[in-house]
Amino acid sequence: MAPLATSSVPIAFAETAFSSGNSHAAIDLLTREEGALRRIIQRYVRDAATVDDVYQEVSLKVLKRIDSVRDLAALRGWLFQLARNACLDYLRREDRRQGLSHDVLAEHTASGDLGRNPGEQFLSRERVSAVRRALDHLPTSQREVLLLRIDEGLDHEAIAERLHISRQAVEVRLCRGRAALKNQLEDIMRGAL
Amino acid sequence: MSGSPVDHTNDEQTSRDLTCEEVAALLPLVADGALDAAADPALFTHLARCCECQDDLMLYDLVTVALEATRPATADSSVSRQREPKREPIRHVFLPWPAALAASLAVAVGLWMWLASMQPGRTAHTAPATQVVQVVGADGQPVYVVVQGDQVTVIDPRAIDGKAPANQPQVTPVKFNTAPAATTP
């Protein structure tokens, strides 16, 4: 797979941005990193208008929070996290808006268009149901940890207390369960493409 | 995933370079929200420039969104309950027993007095006191003022003796609205 062709941020520029905290530096940073940010967003939402919206959201967050970043080496990672979080927020909003209605599913099924990007495909009722079914087939130890985490919103410490196991055991089970579901989803999507 | 898709050109130097295998082991925790750029800058720096790891993380993220979308309604309410701020319990204030007893007695006595005043033939002032006061009249002669309840009677002793002027009444009843507490010396 081709590597990301992102332009790096010159050290002098970044230092200026962090020390002065002015918005011009942030805008300059966004200009240089726009391509990389858009490529990250396009992994989650490929519709051009939506990509623009999400990018706009990310830009605003960069302008507001650039002063909080002190670790120059972590600049790209920080930008990646902002973009990913904005994409997840969008997917969750979209999911609530559509409510995974039968109308949306029927429309997609009738047209044979399950969406061009993974996110859009994923928001079909069939995909969502398939993941939930895959969860039901996980080993009990992994399933109960995931249910407590996702359905009840407990953190790792609380899950460990509830199940009388160590926090490390909780994280191991979470990782294995999530990895199994991710592989299942990968198979589903590969089959659909 | 051996780290080959990572773009190292014009890259900032990080404290350590992670391989894709190392990152793959951490992706479930990233999707879980347990790791972020502040907690592990090297991990996110790798993610920012590695296409394959980004693809993997995207799948993990989609699993999370799917599970959240199919969260049972009861689980939704339990999660929302957890996120709701705890309400202060209603506090019941109990009086100490002597104060409670005194209050009860006061209410009972008040009720008894009210019921007693409501009985027929009985009033709060059943027998108005009678006062007789001797005062000096306008002509300098003594007269008697008899006060009974709200009724005042002025008695001229000369009328009793037959010395009073013929045109003056023997008694002069007067009614007051207020209680006859104040009397003229």
SS (H, E, C) A56-121: HHHHHHHHHHHHHCCCHHHHHHHHHHHHHHHHHHHHHHHHHHHCCCHHHHHHHHHHCCCCCCHHHH
- CA atoms in the 13 A half-sphere facing the CB of B5: 17
| A98 token code pair | 């559509």
A156 — contact with chain B (CB < 8 Å)? yes
Two tokens, residue A110: 């009738």
Q: How many CB atoms sit inside 10 A of residue A142's CB?
A: 20
Check the CA dihedral A107-A112-A115-A120 and report its sign.
positive
Q: What are phi and psi of A148, to 5 degrees?
A: -65, -35
Q: Give residue A88's pLDDT.
A: 93
Average pLDDT over residues B92-119: 77
Residue reference for tokens 């623009």: A52
Span A5-22, mean pLDDT? 48
Distance from C-alpha of B48 to C-alpha of A85, rounded to nearest angstrom: 13
Is any Cβ of chain A less than 8 angstroms from the Cβ of B39? no
When pLDDT is averaged across residues B57-74 and rounded to a whole number, the result is: 86
Q: Is the pTM of this model over 0.80?
A: no
Q: Which residues pair with A32 in a beta bridge?
A: none
Q: Do A175 and B29 touch (CB under 8 A)?
A: yes
> Which pLDDT band holds residue B54 (cuts at 50, 70, 90)?
very high
Could you give the C-alpha distances from A45 to A54, A120, A122, B9, B154, in angstroms and in order?
9, 7, 11, 27, 109
Nearest to B75 by CA among A141, A132, A122: A132
- Give A65's contacts (C-beta < 8 A, 6+ positions apart): A82
Q: What pLDDT band is residue B8 in, cutting at 50, 70 and 90?
A: very low
Instruction: At A123, list the tokens.
Output: 């928001």
Residue A138 token pair:
């996980």
Chain B residue with the nearest C-alpha to that of A183: B59
SS3 B37: coil
pLDDT of residue A58: 92
Q: Write down the pLDDT at residue B114.
A: 84
Tokens at B34, concatenated: 């347990």
As a 3-state breakdown, chain B gives helix, strand, coil percent values, each rounded to 5, of 45, 15, 45
A36-45, B45-54, B144-153: segment of lowest average pLDDT: B144-153
pLDDT-based confidence at residue A87 (cuts at 50, 70, 90):
very high
Give yes or no for residue B85 having a pLDDT over 70: no
B152-167 per-position pLDDT tens digit? 777 777 776 666 555 5
- What pLDDT was estimated at residue B111? 85
pLDDT tens-digit map of A124-163: 777 788 888 899 999 999 999 999 999 999 999 999 999 9
ipTM above 0.85, yes or no: no
pLDDT of the residue at B32: 93
Mutate one of B9, B11, B16, B70 to test the A interface: name it (highest A CB count within 10 A): B70
Say whether residue B45 is in contact with chain A using an 8 A CB cutoff.
yes
pLDDT band at residue A30 using 50, 70 and 90 as cut-offs: confident
B69 contact A CB<8A:
yes
